[in-house]
């Protein structure tokens, strides 16, 4: 396989994990771009990266860059996606990939026009445990899927300037943690849910602090999702079939699942992959997709999840400043 030159746009926690994933492969990131040049230099020094850009836009103009990983706040994603895709760069973009379906549709169209790969860095689509479970499910051993139950609760201090509650940084439970739960649901459901009900509790900034979501698709598979930013919950996913149910804890980067069989109650533990290698799996699948080996990035699932999130936020009447400015221009 060709050796691809990766650039990181952003120097935060995820960018550090990306650099470490490249080191596990015996490679280094080709370059780094960041809003603050000093932080970019420090990041490059830490990981032995040779190229640092004085200006973010230089990464899009660099003909040696093959793939850009965007890990900036999600309200900035679409502006960087426009530039990267128009410049003919493949892009792996941190979740949530955009604010809404309209932005995502624009980015997808740009990727198609320029014949490049666009993908969301959703760990669930790349962790080996999910591929292993799919094989078990498709064998028919568990029977027909009935329902899915999802929890994701963080405890964030009530600091309304923090990005989790900050409306100007597209804060809120849905885009930050809900995207994981809904991606899990979409992975196991036969089709995208077309019936959606929800309720929400707002933080004082107006973003969603807690939410409860009910989903059903045309196959009548159902799901419930409970999200919270100020009440700790287990990161737990339960998938119930008529012949057994599957439980996965720490599911965003899960490595273990327990199946309980309906007939006699016996359990089976399945282990596949390692949590610590989550970014490595993303990088490997992205490169295989870019090289033409197949579609390993599940962009259609990303589109379905964004469709759900956009619909739910519209039901709530929850918008962000960027969306409001876009509406004013129409």
Instruction: Dump pLDDT digits (tens) for 274-306.
Output: 999 999 999 999 999 999 999 999 999 999 999
Domain that holds residue 115: 6-121
Mean pLDDT of the residues in the chain: 97
Per-residue confidence at 326, pLDDT binned at 50, 70, 90?
Answer: confident
In this structure, what DSSP letter does residue 141 have? T
- Residue whose pair of structure tokens reads 């059903």 in the numeric block: 216
Residues 156 and 64 both lie in one domain: no
Residues 198 and 315 both lie in one domain: yes
Residues 158 and 244 both lie in one domain: yes
Residue 290 lies in a domain: no
Residues 313 and 182 both lie in one domain: yes
Residue 1 lies in a domain: no
Domain boundary among 95, 121, 147: 121
Q: Are 172 and 208 in contact (CB under 8 A)?
A: yes
pLDDT at residue 152 greater than cutoff 70: yes
Which ranges of the chain does DSSP label H, i.e. alpha helix? Answer: 13-24, 37-47, 58-61, 77-86, 101-113, 128-138, 173, 179-188, 278-290, 299-316, 321-329
Residues 117 and 131 both lie in one domain: no
Task: Specify the CATH number for the domain of residue 97.
Answer: 3.40.50.720
pLDDT at residue 330 greater than cutoff 70: no
Residue 29 lies in a domain: yes
Residues 173 and 85 both lie in one domain: no
Q: Convert the pLDDT of each residue in 30-84 to its tens digit.
A: 999 999 999 999 999 999 999 999 999 999 999 999 999 999 999 999 999 999 9
- Token reading at 247: 């439980």
Residue 201 lies in a domain: yes
Residues 116 and 68 both lie in one domain: yes
Predicted local distance difference test score (pLDDT) of residue 171: 97
Residue 268 lies in a domain: yes
Residues 144 and 211 both lie in one domain: yes
In whole angstroms, give the CA distance from residue 199 to residue 226: 10
Instruction: Count how many domains the chain has.
Output: 2
Residues 170 and 276 both lie in one domain: yes
């Amino acid at each position: 396989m060709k050796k691809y030159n990766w650039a990181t746009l952003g120097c935060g926690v995820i960018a550090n994990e990306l650099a470490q994933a490249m080191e596990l492969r015996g490679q280094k990131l080709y370059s780094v771009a960041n809003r603050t040049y000093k932080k970019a230099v420090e990041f490059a020094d830490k990981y032995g990266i040779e190229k640092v850009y004085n200006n973010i836009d230089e990464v899009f103009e660099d003909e040696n860059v093959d793939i850009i990983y965007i890990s900036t706040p999600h309200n900035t994603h679409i502006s960087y996606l426009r530039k990267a895709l128009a410049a003919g760069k493949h892009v792996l973009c941190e979740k949530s990939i955009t604010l809404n379906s309209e932005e995502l549709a624009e980015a997808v169209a740009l990727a198609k026009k320029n014949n490049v790969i666009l993908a969301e860095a959703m760990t669930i689509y790349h962790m080996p445990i999910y591929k292993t479970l799919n094989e078990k499910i498709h064998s028919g051993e568990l029977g027909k899927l009935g329902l899915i139950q999802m929890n994701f609760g963080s405890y964030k201090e009530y600091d309304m300037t923090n990005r989790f509650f900050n409306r100007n940084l597209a804060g809120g439970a849905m885009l930050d943690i809900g995207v994981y739960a809904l991606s899990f649901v979409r992975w196991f459901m036969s089709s995208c849910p077309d019936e959606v009900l929800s309720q929400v509790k707002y933080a004082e900034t107006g973003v969603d602090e807690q939410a409860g979501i009910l989903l059903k698709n045309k196959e009548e598979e159902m799901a419930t999702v409970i999200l919270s930013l100020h009440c700790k919950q287990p990161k737990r996913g339960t998938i119930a079939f008529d012949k057994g149910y599957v439980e996965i804890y720490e599911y965003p980067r899960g490595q273990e699942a327990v199946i309980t069989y309906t007939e006699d109650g016996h359990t089976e533990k399945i282990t596949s992959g390692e949590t610590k290698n989550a970014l490595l799996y993303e990088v490997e699948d992205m490169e295989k997709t870019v090289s033409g080996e197949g579609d390993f990035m599940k962009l259609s699932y990303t589109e379905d999840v964004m469709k759900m999130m956009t619909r739910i936020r519209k039901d709530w009447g929850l918008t962000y400043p960027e969306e409001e400015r876009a509406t004013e221009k129409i």
